[in-house]
Structure 1
Amino acid sequence: MAEASLRTIDDVVCGFCGLGCDDLTVEVEGREVRAAGAVCPEAARLLRRMDVPDRGPSIAGAPVSLDEATQAARRLLGEARAPVFAGLGVDMAGAGALADLAVRFGGVLDHYASDGLFANYAAAQRTGWLSTTLAEVRNRCDLLLVLGEDPSATWGRLFERLYPEAPLFAGAPRRVVFLGGAPGEKARRQLAGAEVSHLSADDVVAALEALGVFAAGGQPPGTSFGGVPAQDISALAEALRGAHYAVVTWNAGGLAQGDLVAEFATKLVDSINLVTRAGVFPLGGRDNIIGVNQLLLWRLGYPLRTAVRGQASAHDGALYATGQALADADLLVWTSAFRPEPPPAFSGKVIALAHPDTQFDKEPDVLIPVGTPGVDHAGTVFRMDSIVSMPLGALRVATLPSVAEAARGLAEG
């Protein structure tokens, strides 16, 4: 048997974290896939594939054919009174097929990374916001305010993407201020061309609220706020007001009071915009949550955390969150194609359209392993700023169905 030739593929798009990096180099040898060159650890881990047979379908842990697994899953869907379609780590084609499945059988739709999204929604609903895009931050932002912990632990190339060496419009020096946790070594390395400072805060919400008052021309009572001296917060407010284009960014999903951080960040930007230009840049986008949310808005008129029953749909950001919805559910349809994310604990029946490397505490009633978009098959995802869709290409010959193919199989018959 001839040895498989080694192929090097440039400009590969990564669909895992929401940054939409499109400059990866990947080596493919037979069905083995590995990242080459400089790449973030998350992309390297999730792109890695060995040239070994993929796990096959199963019923309660016993191997079966794909047809048998599909028929068993279809029976469970037909018998269910209150299904929950959760996980939803899928590309756009998979999201559309799962939405069709929910419309046919009824059920709640939610993504496993939606906590941060809905924390931001809560702020936007109360105050509205002026948001910016990745391109605008890259090319125009001269003062970036980062709230909470260093986000580069989750978005490995974030500051490399936000602050390139040669922006189109922003002049030097460019500044980055961390309010909360300190920047790590990776962040400082990526921001080597910028002026980086850190204000350590033990209560980001309190410090941010005071910052908004200072930026609006007020004088809040007190000598420190959230552990930050008043004079430091006042100086930061003046710097924001004096910037050409200030941007405030945060990861609501990683903050205990993410909705309040989002609300006060929005109010701060509103104040700054009276004297200069500013915008918010909320972080998120893991496993195409932005794209799935967009699709449901187009299809149902509601975002994630929506229940479909008959010809009607209803949205409730609290009642239809996965954890709450499962309290009243009798079937969990779990989907995670981008990563081996296991489903939450659930006492009812489970159908899993899952990454073949997923480790389960308890084997699902029906498991249909699926391919990964951007590795096993082509697909489309949305970037975290929601305005750009990114095409994913297939890197190897697939032996597993895509989520769209598996979901359409469940809908037939």
Structure 2
Amino acid sequence: MTQLLNAMHTCPACGLLCDDISSDAIARQQLSCGKAAKFYARSVKHPSAQIHGRAVTVREAVKAAATMLTQATSPLVAGSSTDVHGARALVDLSHATHASMTHLNASSTLRNMQVLQHRGWQTTTLTEVRNRADVILMIGTDVVSHNARFFERVVWVDEAMFTNAAQRKIIYLGGDDLNTKPGVSPDGHAPEVIACASAHLPEVVAALRALVLDKPVTGTQVAGVAVSTLKALADTLKAAKYATLVWVSKDLHYAHAELTIEHITETVVALNQKSRAMGLSMGGSDGDTSVNYAHTWLNGVIIDQPDWESHDVVVWVNSYSPDAMPPAGAAPVIVLGASDSAFATPPAVFIPVATPGLECDGQMFRVDGSVTLPLTAAKPDDLPSLREVVNQILTTLEQGALA
């Protein structure tokens, strides 16, 4: 029993995938991260499968889902809130039904992927930041609103191989309602904050890139930020042994935000001409990193945004966001969802599936894409996994084709 209580779990509540969560902490609900606490507090329910809100057997629901997909001319696999194994199953389903596939976070993922496709980038890992970074520039984000333990796990660590972690310089550039308290060093040294609204980041980051390249920037201010302040920031980045420029794509929610990300990544390129710098994209939720990677290696293309009106059936997966549903007015919906899914209106078909890391084992990519980590069920249950349900649907589709 003691061994079970001391077992460690990897938490899938955000892209950090913290792997130091003990069974005892979960049982006692003693978790320092709010996202982890909310995830592990979810109760395991045993709802019946449903067709239009009417309780049915799983077999009946599988048959109804297969019938809808057979009759559809343009199905969509969406939500896709799952792990690597679930993502692979959804890709198989999309191939069998000629469905398009997308994710809850497709819009923010695309901002990054468009830059990677168009220009390429130089990015680092959490481990490298932990061991090497001496200057960390947060651009338009506080990170902790997405990855609560970032500073605890990566920045203010007891040991770093190639730098003094306690003396790291933390700088915040722009962003709205940022929580900069985690950026205070263990000895009480406050981070530098260069304030500007998120809406003005495009101009400010473009000016910073120009200054790093030693290009002239006319005027004394850029969107309310003194050019002299940006020049000092550029000099700090140039003098760093390992500068890390951090952003969260979800926080850059304005038109053509991918151009701001491109300015960030091209600033990294410029810095690397004479010093060393890397980019670090943070965030990661609902398994978006895992799903995008699985989709890319199996299909050769990245996850895209859907045109909801062009699809006549939607297969919606919401393992990590049980309250999430497609936009109102979307096509008839088949939900392969968490046991605690909440519906304002019952979907056409609902089949409860286990949530990886809570009710079943699984595997996910960390937000930096450098490693995959295993997920161990914190509250093991006999609910079927997403892959098992998808396989039942695929078998039914195949039997129908052979009939």
State if a TM-score over 0.5 links the two structures.
yes
- Give, as a single letter, the amino acid of the residue that structure 1 aligns with 2:172: F
Q: Superposition pairs for residues 378-389 of structure 1, below 5 Å?
A: 378-389=361-372
In structure 1, runs of 5+ residues without a counterpart are 306-320
Q: Which residue of 2 aligns with 1:184?
A: 179
Q: Superposition pairs for residues 55-70 of structure 1, below 5 Å?
A: 55-70=47-62
1:327 partner SS: helix
Paired with 1:381 and 1:68, the residues of 2 have a C-alpha distance of 31
Distance apart, 1:255 and its partner CA: 1.1
Q: 1:46 aligns with which of 39, 43, 48?
A: 39
Alignment pair present for 1:252 and 2:249: yes
Distance apart, 1:394 and its partner CA: 1.8
Percent identity over the alignment is 31
Contact 1:93 1:380 in 2 (8 A): yes
Paired with 2:127 and 2:260, the residues of 1 have a C-alpha distance of 23
Paired with 1:330 and 1:216, the residues of 2 have a C-alpha distance of 51
- Give, as a single letter, the amino acid of the residue that structure 2 aligns with 1:19: L
Structure 1 residues 302 and 193: CA distance shift in structure 2, 3 A:
farther
Paired with 1:397 and 1:207, the residues of 2 have a C-alpha distance of 49
Paired with 2:282 and 2:123, the residues of 1 have a C-alpha distance of 11
Distance apart, 1:194 and its partner CA: 6.0
Q: Which residue of 1 aligns with 2:380?
A: 397
Paired with 2:28 and 2:183, the residues of 1 have a C-alpha distance of 24
Paired with 2:124 and 2:238, the residues of 1 have a C-alpha distance of 17
Deviates more, 1:95-104 or 1:124-133: 124-133
In structure 2, runs of 5+ residues without a counterpart are 397-403
Q: Which residue of 1 aligns with 2:30?
A: 37
- Give, as a single letter, the amino acid of the residue that structure 1 aligns with 2:309: A
Greater fraction of residues in helix: 2
Distance apart, 1:115 and its partner CA: 1.5
Deviates more, 1:176-185 or 1:83-92: 176-185
Q: Superposition pairs for residues 325-404 of structure 1, below 5 Å?
A: 326-344=308-326, 345-404=328-387
Structure 1 residues 194 and 98: CA distance shift in structure 2, 3 A:
farther
Contact 2:113 2:302 in 1 (8 A): no
Q: Say what the alpha-carbon RMSD is for the aligned residues.
A: 2.1
User: Deviation string for 1:58-94 (max 9, x for gaps)?
Assistant: 1111111111111111111111110010011111111
Deviates more, 1:235-244 or 1:85-94: 85-94
Paired with 2:274 and 2:180, the residues of 1 have a C-alpha distance of 34
Paired with 1:207 and 1:191, the residues of 2 have a C-alpha distance of 30
- Give, as a single letter, the amino acid of the residue that structure 1 aligns with 2:246: T
Contact 1:200 1:228 in 2 (8 A): yes
Structure 1 residues 108 and 191: CA distance shift in structure 2, 3 A:
farther
Paired with 1:35 and 1:156, the residues of 2 have a C-alpha distance of 20
Q: Which residue of 1 aligns with 2:400?
A: none
Distance apart, 1:367 and its partner CA: 0.3
Distance apart, 1:201 and its partner CA: 1.1
Structure 1 residues 227 and 302: CA distance shift in structure 2, 3 A:
same
Greater fraction of residues in strand: 1
Contact 2:16 2:147 in 1 (8 A): yes
Contact 2:10 2:19 in 1 (8 A): yes
- Give, as a single letter, the amino acid of the residue that structure 2 aligns with 1:158: F
Q: Superposition pairs for residues 157-306 of structure 1, below 5 Å?
A: 157-163=149-155, 164-171=157-164, 173-181=167-175, 183-184=178-179, 186-188=181-183, 196-202=191-197, 203-257=200-254, 258-305=257-304
Structure 1 residues 291 and 192: CA distance shift in structure 2, 3 A:
farther
1:155 partner SS: coil
- Give, as a single letter, the amino acid of the residue that structure 1 aligns with 2:127: A
Contact 2:142 2:180 in 1 (8 A): no
Deviates more, 1:284-293 or 1:181-190: 181-190
Alignment pair present for 1:89 and 2:88: no
Contact 1:10 1:23 in 2 (8 A): no
Structure 1 residues 228 and 36: CA distance shift in structure 2, 3 A:
same
Paired with 2:391 and 2:374, the residues of 1 have a C-alpha distance of 22
TM-score of the aligned structures, taking structure 2 as reference length: 0.91
Distance apart, 1:13 and its partner CA: 0.3
Contact 1:288 1:383 in 2 (8 A): no
TM-score of the aligned structures, taking structure 1 as reference length: 0.89
2:62 partner SS: helix
